[in-house]
Amino acid sequence: MKNHFIFSLLLILLMACTRSFDGGYNAPFLYKIDIQQGNVIEQEMLDKLRPGMDKNQVRFIMGTPVIIDPFHSERWEYIFSFQKGGGVREQRHITLHFEDEKLAYVSGDIEESTRSREEQQIVTEDEAVIVPFKEKEEKGFFRKVWDKVTPGGD
């Protein structure tokens, strides 16, 4: 009985000393899953972006942005976070800036591509994917209400 008590006490003390910086436990033999959040952002995707692309083309390459600020609709935010089994979390944040509905420039956690334009994947007209042209994006509920409430709204 005494041995069980000592073993339990040692186990509790061991567990108390295994707290990690994020508040979780780093107990031995405890399985932690990989956690992935946001849009996957790969260098190949960024290599395909070109200034002058319209929003539909950008959305086709990058996917739907995580954040589109209603007050800054000319800026799209893409955030990707990955934490492997209780390890250190890696995060990437990319901002796409538009002017007159066309891609102007990219900022954020980006790297210069080590490949030249010739080495990058060149898509011929036969291989190109045609993105259907949308006349105008449909306004959401809050945007419609905002336009009704504010003077000069559409």
Q: pLDDT, tens digit, for every residue of 97-133? A: 999 889 998 888 766 555 554 554 555 555 555 556 5
Position 54: which residue type? D
Provide the residue ranges of all domains of the chain, joining segments of one domain with +: 1-30, 34-132
Task: Indicate the pLDDT class of residue 54, thresholds 50, 70 and 90.
Answer: confident
> What is the model's pLDDT at position 153?
52
Burial class (CB in 10 A: 0-12, 13-18, 19+), 133: exposed
Judged by DSSP in three states, 100 sits in coil
Q: Per residue in 2-38, pLDDT tens?
A: 777 888 877 777 666 666 655 666 666 677 788 888 8
34-132: CATH class: alpha beta
Q: Is 96 in contact with 78 (CB distance < 8 Å)? A: yes
Q: What is the pTM of this model?
A: 0.55
Give me the chain's average pLDDT, please: 76
Q: With left for phi above 0 and alpha for psi between -120 and 50, is residue 152 left, alpha or beta?
A: left
